[in-house]
Amino acid sequence: MIDIAILRADPDRVRENIKKKFQENKLPLVDEALALDEKRRALQTEGDALRAARNALSKQIGLLMREKKTDEAEKVKAQVNADAARLADIEKEAAEASERLKAIMMRIPNFISAETPIGRNDTQNVERERFLEPKVPDFEVPYHVDILEKLSGIDLDSARRTSGQGFYYLLGDVARLHSAVLAYARDFMIGKGFLYVIPPFMIRSDVVSGVMSFEEMDGMMYKIEGEDLYLIGTSEHSMIGRFMNTTLPAEQLPLTLTSYSPCFRKEKGAHGLEERGIYRIHQFEKQEMIVVCKPEESEMWYDRMWHYTVELFVSMGIPVRTLECCSGDLADLKYRSVDVEAWSPRQKKYFEVGSCSNLTDAQARRLGIRYKTEKGSAFAHTLNNTVVAPPRMLIAFLENHLHADGSVDIPEVLRPYMGGTEKLTPRA
């Protein structure tokens, strides 16, 4: 949510930002917000005048009563009562206007960075850097489900019977590898000075509406029937929600946190072959990183965070590249975002395995996350980034470490988490 003061002072800047995000349908929201803001402030001014008049009239009534001017006192009382009735109406109208204004402001997208390329969708994202040389082996790389089945590491059929499409059982060494990657990612981030956290996996609606736009919520979140609770789509939701309506001591910033959680997503829509299997699913696990910081530090942390993800993948021998997300590919709260994509030898292209975002103060405004300053308080900046999200990253892992005989090498950094295992081999 942007600062209402910016909207008042420079509405054309807000309109131009909406156009850059190709959300022209939201342009009328600017005038609606300005009209509601003007109405709210006019009501506030009228209410303040009535309160001041009430105080003055109350003193007058006391004076008239002491002078035994009862009739005059009764007339003033009648005026006080009339003003009180009007004040009650004003407070009701002002509250309604404020609620409508907040709802509109929450739909107006955050300003984008000057570094953000202008484009309508993710096909216009811009490649920035590549890390490790992508390779294509001299044998045909099987579909990732086939690799997993030869390793006796997956059971999709049983999952369809118990839970439906978009679920899976991971088995044996593959399940252990899945957990090993998460444990390694946890320790990797702890080594970077991040505090490890396991957060709640369900959050209330006021947290949901604070951490994301209504459109995102509808497309992602699972609602718990009969409860004011939603299953989290990522631990960012409950991690940021932890600081809702708080004012943090300045000396505590930055807060650098890494969290583990299962994640639950609707994943609406049809998907092609490569996005089936364990690529696009309703339930997965993830290691996340969160930073809450002062505004002047957020761009530094943005660069540092996505570099951590790159470093993690490179340490496991997986080639990756970074893409600067274009304006039309940014969610409403995002100021800037970079996707980390891993190389797929099978597809001979990169695919997304993580995303790093700087939300500036847009999310903090929705949730009321402040920090103390010499002049009072200010809104903090919030950032989030995927450290690693198996099982999707397992696709890149398996393809990049696969041999023609179906065996898969385990990188040295993961072997301590795999009991010293150096290679996974197919089973009869």
The predicted pLDDT at position 123 comes to 94
Mean pLDDT of 132-138: 94
- What is the C-alpha to C-alpha distance for residues 100 and 36, in angstroms, rounded to an integer? 8
Q: Which of 176-185, 206-215, 270-279, 301-310 has the lowest mean pLDDT?
A: 270-279
Question: Which residue has tokens 């929201």?
Answer: 29
> Which pLDDT does position 270 carry in this prediction?
46
Tens digits of per-residue pLDDT, 246-290? 999 999 999 999 999 999 998 764 445 555 677 888 999 999 999
* pLDDT number for residue 279: 80
pLDDT at 191: 98
Of the candidates 167, 189, 170, 190, which has an alpha carbon nearest to the alpha carbon of residue 179? 170
> What is the C-alpha to C-alpha distance for residues 74 and 70, in angstroms, rounded to an integer?
6
* Residue 300 falls in which region: left (phi positive, over 0), alpha (psi -120 to 50) or beta: alpha
What backbone torsions phi and psi does residue 330 show, to the nearest 5 degrees? -90, 130
Higher per-residue pLDDT: 49 or 17: 17
Residue 412 confidence class, pLDDT cut points 50, 70, 90:
very high
Please tell me the predicted confidence (pLDDT) of residue 347. Answer: 93
Place of tokens 């396991």: 198
Contacts of 284 (CB under 8 A, 6+ apart): 262, 263, 278, 389, 390, 391, 392
Using only C-alpha atoms, the chain has a radius of gyration, in whole angstroms, of 28
Q: Kindly report the pTM of this predicted structure.
A: 0.89
Flag whether pLDDT at 199 surpasses 80: yes
Residue 410: pLDDT over 90 = yes
Give the span between the Cα atoms of 418 and 335, in whole angstroms: 39
pLDDT tens digits along 26-42? 999 999 999 999 999 99
What ranges do the domains of the chain cover?
A: 4-105, 122-424
pLDDT band at 61 (very low <50, low <70, confident <90, very high): low
Structural fold of domain 122-424? BirA Bifunctional Protein; domain 2 (3.30.930)
In contact, 358 and 333? CB cutoff 8 Å: no
Q: Are 190 and 184 in contact (CB under 8 A)?
A: no
50-54, 159-163, 398-402: which has the minimum mean pLDDT?
Answer: 50-54
Edge-to-edge order in the sheet of strand 126-131: 126-131, 320-324, 336-344, 349-358, 381-388, 283-293, 255-264, 195-197
Which pLDDT score, from 0 to 100, does residue 268 have?
60
Work out whether strand 423-424 and strand 230-231 pair parallel, antiparallel, or are unpaired. unpaired
Q: What is the distance between the alpha carbons of residues 237 and 73, in angstroms, rounded to a whole number? A: 58
- The class that CATH gives domain 4-105 is mainly alpha
Q: In this predicted structure, what is the pLDDT of residue 71? A: 73
For residue 129, the cross-strand partners are 322
The per-residue pLDDT for 47 is 85
* pLDDT > 70? residue 75: yes
The residue that leads in pLDDT, 321 or 54, is 321
Is residue 336 within 8 Å of 302, Cβ to Cβ?
yes
- What pLDDT score does 5 carry? 94
Percentage of the chain exceeding pLDDT 90: 79
Give the span between the Cα atoms of 291 and 302, in whole angstroms.
9
- Report residue 339: phi and psi, to 5°: -95, 140
* Amino acid 276: pLDDT: 64
User: For residue range 107-130, what is the model confidence (pLDDT) as tens digits?
Assistant: 999 999 999 999 999 999 999 999
Cβ-count burial of 404 within 10 angstroms (0-12 exposed, 13-18 middle, 19+ buried)?
A: exposed
3-state secondary structure the chain: CCCHHHHHHCHHHHHHHHHHCCCHHHCHHHHHHHHHHHHHHHHHHHHHHHHHHHHHHHHHHHHHHHCCCHHHHHHHHHHHHHHHHHHHHHHHHHHHHHHHHHHHHCCCCCCCCCCCCCCCCHHHCEEEEEECCCCCCCCCCCCHHHHHHHCCCEEHHHHHHHCCCCCCEECHHHHHHHHHHHHHHHHHHHHCCCEEECCCCEECHHHHHHHCCHHHHHHHCEECCCCCCEECCCHHHHHHHCCCCEEECHHHCCEEEEEEEEEECCCCCCCCHHHCCCCCCCEEEEEEEEEEECHHHHHHHHHHHHHHHHHHHHHCCCCEEEEECCHHHCCCCCCEEEEEEEEECCCCEEEEEEEEEECCCHHHHHHCEEEEECCEEEECEEEEEEEECCCHHHHHHHHHCECCCCCEECCHHHHHHHCCCCEECCCC
Q: What are 290-348's pLDDT values in tens digits?
A: 999 999 999 999 999 999 999 999 999 999 999 999 999 999 999 999 999 999 999 99
Q: Distance between CA atoms of 126 and 324, rounded to whole angstroms?
A: 5
- Cβ-contact 345, 135 below 8 angstroms: yes
In which residue are the tokens 């006021």 written? 206
Average pLDDT score, the chain: 91
Q: What is the pLDDT of residue 218?
A: 74
pLDDT in tens, 302-316: 999 999 999 999 999
